[in-house]
Structure 1
Amino acid sequence: MKPVRWLTALATAAAMLPAVAFADTPIKVVLNWKYQGPQAWFFVAQDKGYFKAEGLDVTIDQGEGSAASITKVAAGAYQAGFGDINAVIDLAAKRPADAPVAVYMLYNTPPFTIVVKKDSPIRTAKDLEGKTLGAPANDGALKLFPAFAKAAKVDPSKVSISNMAPNLREQMLMRGQVDGVFGYINTIAFSARLVGLDPEKDLRFINYGDNGLDLYSNAVVFSRAFVKENPKAVTGFLKALNRAINDSLANPEMAMDSVMKREPLLKRDIERDRLAATLKDEMNHPEIAKIGLGDIDTARLTRSIGVVVEANQLARTPTAAEVFDRSFLPARADRASKL
């Protein structure tokens, strides 16, 4: 066969073959908790095809606590998670090779709190001594109690800790089975509303941020192995998520549609209010006017690392660069400056 005819025949045969499709990069994500309003942007990015547009096949699972999400990513069960950066600090101090790395900061104002009944004699942090406090074992505020105790000059040896199932937290508090409970401010406030309580009338909040702990909280994290092997996928994930955040800020009702799609039994008005409160109270630190949502102030994170290391008597102090990597962030102009 002459060369021209041979090439023509080869091209014709190739055209008859099915197109080769390159598989999307799979990413399994574990959230901080059960499906709720403040997770809306993860679902929006999935529903609107933003992850898909970046060549990603993203699966999103419910979580069991902000600290637990970090350990699940570290164990290799998930490539990414939404969890407490203070748990990242703790793990980076103990097992730096295994610790995930945070890449997008969402909760930039400390949400950690201890909640007591409004009629309780506990009015200040010092009043917690001699009392029993309860929390789920993986609760972020519980994990940070040593730091809170040090900052608030509370003797932690004089405080008893009782572990409980997450769904029993508010009930056990109101029944007097514990004197106070650990948690995130809006998690407890809105869970209280779901069981018929009025947080403003029935509860008193002793917030970590009011006692000298200006800590970061929940961030998007990735395993170190995935970051090393798939840097473009991490960049694409954050681009898609950031786009969904902007959409959710512009149209909260659309965002709630994606939340309710995951869990139709949720009370839409409660979850919409929970989302608004999270934006206002946990994601609106003054620093974002300068650095934008998603980034961190390196000096502030370094101070936070020092607080966690000292309070937990960790043998090693990780650097801010070990804990947070801003190199995958979308451009500053694309990230929100005020929520």
Structure 2
Amino acid sequence: MKRILATVVVVALLISGCGDDEPPDSDKPAADQVTYLTAFGAVGRDAFAWVAQEKGYFRDAGIDVTIQLGAATGENLKVLAAGKAQFANLDLTGTWILAGKGQYRDVRAIAAIHQQTLVSIISLEGSAVAKPKDLEGHKLGAATGSVNQLLFPGYAKLAGVDESKVQWVNAPPPQLPALLAGGQVDALSTFLIGAKGLEKAAGGKKTVVMPYSTYLPELYGNGLIAPVSITQGDPDLAGRFRDAALKGLAYTIEHPQEAAEIMKKAQPAADVTAAVGEITLMTPYVKTSGLIEKDRVAGAIATLEKNGLIPPGSLTPDAAVDFALAPSS
């Protein structure tokens, strides 16, 4: 009798359990599928995206993000324009220079990662380049299509460098450290936060860093960018992505070692030591709120105009930033 009763109870439980044909999460909407481009491969400045993915910040925001390695401003903008990515970490100044020249005007910034441009001239101690003027007659390496070359004419003018006497050597971002370490270029135009990685690649030689911001302090550095088809067409998605990415940025700043290791897990070729160095060096330039101020954007545009980098009146703050999405003070 007890065996029969037990059987009845089991059957009853099975029947009651089978009454719900849908899984518990069936009412949840499907996650939005997006592709995100890093600014410059898999380095410390981009670790926050993998942190946001690993910690579930994107998932909690209802977004399934595919992270692809980016290749500097111009190349990333090509991918965005082709509709092959929906979000990217780009140099805001480089993006605005191109927009002012009539290129890639259908994108908007939605958050700032770096509150000041980090573009710099970096050489090795004891080399032929110890100050900006020394660049004349020497080879300067940079990532193809990067902000470094876009912004250089303004920097050169203010630093007293005859840009016509500088020989540029273009290369993919991963090849730049070897070019400098091997003496194939005399200096690099790259981000100052990469100095530690360059010293490691050069066998411990110290670097000489000459920031563009010495002469151009008004300019922003990297920021989150999206095409207007997203910022205007689906602002809810843009806002959710922005918040999740900035949450990853905040965690990265607080936990640089863990963030670098998370990136290494996703990208085995990444250098943890160099990544920690980048995150540490960029921390003073970061506001994890992603703040973008309209008056500062106007000032940055004015600086670009004044230094002949874009034509006067070619760009307005509202054509550069979506202020309905960008965090404000």
Q: What is the alpha-carbon distance in structure 2 between the residues aligned to residue 179 and residue 155 of structure 1?
A: 16
Partner of 2:6: none
- Whether the 8 Å contact between 1:70 and 1:87 is mirrored in structure 2 is no
Q: How does 1:67-146 map to 2 (within 5 A)?
A: 67-95=74-102, 98-146=105-153
- Tell me which moved more, 297-306 or 216-225: 297-306
Of 290, 298, 304, 1:308 maps to: 304
**Unaligned regions of 5+ residues in structure 1, if any?**
1-13, 333-339
Partner of 2:7: none
Residue 246 (structure 2) pairs with residue 242 (structure 1): yes
Of 189, 194, 197, 1:182 maps to: 189
Residue 94 (structure 2) pairs with residue 49 (structure 1): no
Query: How big is the alpha-carbon RMSD for the aligned residues of Structure 1 and Structure 2?
Result: 2.7
- Whether the 8 Å contact between 1:107 and 1:218 is mirrored in structure 2 is yes
Q: What is the alpha-carbon distance in structure 1 between the residues aligned to residue 138 and residue 252 of structure 2?
A: 42
> Relative to structure 1, is the Cα distance of residues 260 and 27 closer, same or farther in structure 2, using a 3 angstrom cutoff?
same
Of 219, 222, 226, 1:218 maps to: 222
Percent identical: 24
- Whether the 8 Å contact between 1:74 and 1:98 is mirrored in structure 2 is no
Q: Deviations over 1:44-93 (max 9, x none)?
A: 22122221222212111111124422332133221110011122212322
What is the Cα deviation at residue 121 of structure 1? Answer: 4.3
> Relative to structure 1, is the Cα distance of residues 187 and 320 closer, same or farther in structure 2, using a 3 angstrom cutoff?
same
State the secondary structure of the residue aligned to 2:144.
coil
Partner of 2:258: 254
Q: Deviations over 1:85-117 (max 9, x none)?
A: 122212322347743101110111221111223
- Whether the 8 Å contact between 1:80 and 1:220 is mirrored in structure 2 is yes
What is the Cα deviation at residue 34 of structure 1? Answer: 1.7
- Tell me which moved more, 78-87 or 68-77: 68-77
State the secondary structure of the residue aligned to 1:264.
coil
> Relative to structure 1, is the Cα distance of residues 135 and 49 closer, same or farther in structure 2, using a 3 angstrom cutoff?
same
What is the Cα deviation at residue 318 of structure 1? Answer: 0.8
State the secondary structure of the residue aligned to 2:232.
helix
Q: What is the alpha-carbon distance in structure 2 between the residues aligned to residue 26 and residue 113 of structure 1?
A: 36
Partner of 2:279: 275
> Relative to structure 1, is the Cα distance of residues 222 and 116 closer, same or farther in structure 2, using a 3 angstrom cutoff?
same
Length-normalised TM-score, structure 2:
0.83
Q: Deviations over 1:281-307 (max 9, x none)?
A: x42xxxx5xxx7411232332222233
- Whether the 8 Å contact between 1:41 and 1:241 is mirrored in structure 2 is yes
Q: What is the alpha-carbon distance in structure 2 between the residues aligned to residue 170 and residue 40 of structure 1?
A: 19
What is the Cα deviation at residue 168 of structure 1? Answer: 3.6
What amino acid is the match of 2:279? L
- Tell me which moved more, 65-74 or 29-38: 65-74
> Rg bigger for which structure?
2
- Whether the 8 Å contact between 2:114 and 2:222 is mirrored in structure 1 is yes
Length-normalised TM-score, structure 1:
0.80
What amino acid is the match of 2:302? G
> Relative to structure 1, is the Cα distance of residues 269 and 122 closer, same or farther in structure 2, using a 3 angstrom cutoff?
closer
Q: Deviations over 1:206-234 (max 9, x none)?
A: 22112344311110001111111111011
> Relative to structure 1, is the Cα distance of residues 254 and 161 closer, same or farther in structure 2, using a 3 angstrom cutoff?
closer
What is the Cα deviation at residue 184 of structure 1? Answer: 0.8
Q: What is the alpha-carbon distance in structure 2 between the residues aligned to residue 125 and residue 159 of structure 1?
A: 11
What amino acid is the match of 2:319? E
- Whether the 8 Å contact between 2:77 and 2:104 is mirrored in structure 1 is no
Q: Deviations over 1:182-207 (max 9, x none)?
A: 111122431331442333xxx32222
- Whether the 8 Å contact between 1:111 and 1:217 is mirrored in structure 2 is yes
> Relative to structure 1, is the Cα distance of residues 188 and 43 closer, same or farther in structure 2, using a 3 angstrom cutoff?
same
What is the Cα deviation at residue 181 of structure 1? Answer: 1.8
**Unaligned regions of 5+ residues in structure 2, if any?**
1-18
Q: What is the alpha-carbon distance in structure 1 between the residues aligned to residue 86 and residue 172 of structure 2?
A: 27
What amino acid is the match of 1:296? I
Aligned length: 308
Residue 317 (structure 2) pairs with residue 328 (structure 1): no
Residue 169 (structure 2) pairs with residue 162 (structure 1): yes
Q: What is the alpha-carbon distance in structure 2 between the residues aligned to residue 209 and residue 152 of structure 1?
A: 11
Q: Deviations over 1:215-254 (max 9, x none)?
A: 1111000111111111101111122122223333343343
- Tell me which moved more, 19-28 or 48-57: 19-28
Residue 289 (structure 2) pairs with residue 297 (structure 1): no
Q: What is the alpha-carbon distance in structure 1 between the residues aligned to residue 302 and residue 59 of structure 2?
A: 39
What is the Cα deviation at residue 28 of structure 1? Answer: 0.8
